[in-house]
Amino acid sequence: MAFSKRHYLGMAAGYSASDWLRHTFTMGRKKDYQALADYLSKRYEGEAVLCKNGRSALCLALKAYFKPGEAIIVNGFTCYAVYEAVKAAKLVPIWVDINKDDLNFDLTDLEKKISKDAKGIIVQNSLGNPVDMKKIEALAKKHDLTIIEDLAHSVGVRYLDGREAGTVGAAVAFSFGKEKAIDTVSGGAVVLRAPYKNEITAPTKLPKLSDHLRARFYPMLGAACRGMMVVRAGGVLMRLLVKIHWVEKSADNKLDLERKMSKFEARLALPKFKNLRKSGEPVLREFYLVQNRDEVLKKLRMARYFFDGFWYEKPVSPRRYYKRVHFPEVECPNAVFVSEHIINFPTYYQRGELTKARKIVEPYIIKDIVKEGKE
């Protein structure tokens, strides 16, 4: 049976056959959990805490450095998970518009929106594109903002001045969720680098059995769906698995500060960190801004590329939670524009696998946006 990873998103396509076997059978021990924490503490020079997922890790960082009611600057093109972390820490988000070429803070808008209440800034390196950290640091210094680095998209990325992402901020948060830079299906971590004012407690409870099993079997279930002879049947099976909660949509993963990540995930995450140095492919997703996106997606589907699950369809995604955010669209026109025109592919696909997809996309690309550092 061919468990091809080709052409699919949202069906665990980033996992190879050996990956799902490893995922299903790896046993984790306490020492694996400790080994990952020790590695992160050393590499990012701080106190590492492993968490249930990225949003819990980010929330823990926010709780350590900020007081309820304080405001924090957030990239205006992001995942709902970030908003959830900000809310759970009882902070007020200040949404800043983005550049169309790197999907990171528009520095002019950033400077304009720094207010008296702003005490911190979450730096995200959208889809693996590094921010201009030097300028952000200068602004942070001037306005006394604490920098939190969210590396969900960008482990191993280097800033323009050569420093590695995760070596600048007061704290660094990681997500090990599906399709993230380090992907073990779920899990997260935070490294507290600077001394912090507020007391926080590391999670002590074991993961729920249901969460543990979902993380274990997702790569296998995804492979089974992708391996179905008829594409539609694979899609139907995946929807069924979501319905019966054998598979969870990433955005629905709950923030929980009490639960740890699974020990086997810690064991799988560690070599992924160690191997990053060699791989040298820090961009997480290759993105394009296109006209007539629905038509492009349809053509891609006809060529058997199922790339509908691109990041992000709303400035704060997914769509089903967008209303809760009360996102200031008028203040962030670029974020709105990008969310209406973007498509992107994960870079774990081989170059050759995407040649045809790129050909399909090419005629639709909006030309007046020059992407720096892209071919």
Contact positions vs ligand PLP (CB under 6 A): 53-55, 58, 78-79, 81-82, 124, 150, 152-153, 175, 177, 180, 188, 250, 253
DSSP string, 52-80: SSHHHHHHHHHHHH--TT-EEEEESSEEH
**Cα gap 321→299, rounded to integer Å:** 28
**Cα gap 234→11, rounded to integer Å:** 9
**Cα gap 30→357, rounded to integer Å:** 44
**Distance from chain centroid for Cα 119:** 23
Complex with ligand PLP: residue 137 or 179, whichever CB lies closer: 179
Q: How far is the CB of 352 from ligand PLP (least distance, A)?
A: 27
Q: How far is the CB of 303 from ligand PLP (least distance, A)?
A: 27
Q: How far is the CB of 126 from ligand PLP (least distance, A)?
A: 7
Complex with ligand PLP: residue 128 or 234, whichever CB lies closer: 128
Complex with ligand PLP: residue 153 or 341, whichever CB lies closer: 153
Q: What are 161's two structure tokens?
A: 């001045």
Q: How far is the CB of 180 from ligand PLP (least distance, A)?
A: 6
| Strands ordered across the beta sheet of 118-123 | 47-51, 188-192, 171-175, 146-150, 118-123, 71-75, 92-96
Complex with ligand PLP: residue 124 or 339, whichever CB lies closer: 124
Compute the residue count for the chain. 375
**Closest residue to ligand PLP using C-beta atoms:** 54
Complex with ligand PLP: residue 55 or 113, whichever CB lies closer: 55
Q: What are 210's two structure tokens?
A: 């249901």
To which H or E segment does residue 237 belong? helix 231-243
Q: How far is the CB of 291 from ligand PLP (least distance, A)?
A: 26
